[in-house]
Amino acid sequence: MTYIVTGAAGFVGSNIVKALNARGITDIVAVDNLTHADKFKNIVDCEISEYVDKKDFLAVVESGELGGDIDAIFHQGACSNTMETDGRYMMENNYRYSLSLLDFCVEEGVPLIYASSASVYGGGTTFKEDRSFEAPLNVYGYSKFLFDQAVRTRIDDASSQIVGFRYFNVYGPRESQKGRMASMAFHFFNQYRTTGKVKLFEGSGGFGHGEQSRDFVSVEDVVKVNLFFLDNNNVSGIFNLGTGRSQPFNDLAVATVNAICHIDGKPASDLAVLKKEGVIEYVPFPDALKGKYQSFTQADISLLREAGYTDEFLTVEQGVARYVPWLLANE
């Protein structure tokens, strides 16, 4: 039996491959685009049975040649640059590509577990898996939304599992290849290690300095949820994947600095002290993000709980304390 992971050399995809390996599974077809070759480092410590280029894989799918015993497809591959302005590329890469995989999985009865995004909710304040709350602010969010809509038209009649996860703000190991789109935990870590300071946005959208608030979820928890649904392939649907908590960027910055200080044998400090000492600074909110920025997110995870997932999610403080040692070991 074979597992297929698209975006296998990316952030979430590589963590899924590693987690499958931890279960003793190595018959994994890794699908990705290594035009930016450094991404290979994400899977250099993983065991796979085959690597297929992203474009070649789609051609195989559309030709009908893909067959055999496939346990599941984890579709994590996408252009995740929320600032991408080439709508034609975004729709071809994120929507049309995904649609071809969906058609294949429905026809062949193969479980499909795929990555959607909390960006489908746009600037709203209600984050519930319902059309009335979905209004993406950019073409990335729209590409994810449109595919979710396609799934909704097929899911009831499908004989095999289809699961979409609307990822909120994911952080954790193996994300460095995302560059500027990597999590703020990653960027705060590098800022502090390089300059001894962490920079956050000044107030915006009715929020104070650094008080813009997100649902930050550890990739460790994201992988656990993916594998839970793999093990429960009778459950389908589109689900929010966040912690159900919203924490300000100030919390994330403080947690990152304190995690580094703990390893260095230094005492922890609170926000007031770090601001007074100049460790935390605030910079003007960028004009380019005005009207395109989610100042607040908090996943409604009611449907996820109803589906049977009961594990608790790591807080920012817990997740960052586990992430920073990995970053230090892999600098």
Residue in 95, 97, 121, 140 annotated catalytic? 140
320 Cβ contact partners less than 8 Å away, ≥ 6 residues apart: 171, 185, 252, 255, 256, 259
Strand partners, 32: 53
Residue 68: CB atoms within 10 A of its CB come to 7
Query: Is 293 labeled as catalytic in the residue annotation?
Result: no
| Residue 281 to residue 283: CA distance in whole angstroms | 7
**Which residue is it, tokens 């969906």?**
102
Residue 150: CB atoms within 10 A of its CB come to 15
Among residues 292, 283, 309, 167, the alpha carbon closest in space to that of 230 is found at 309
The phi and psi torsions of 255 (rounded to 5 degrees) equal: -60, -40
Tokens encoding 151 = 């799934």
Query: Is 178 labeled as catalytic in the residue annotation?
Result: yes
Helix, strand, or coil (residue 170): strand
Residue in 18, 41, 178, 199 annotated catalytic? 178
Active site positions, annotated: 140, 178
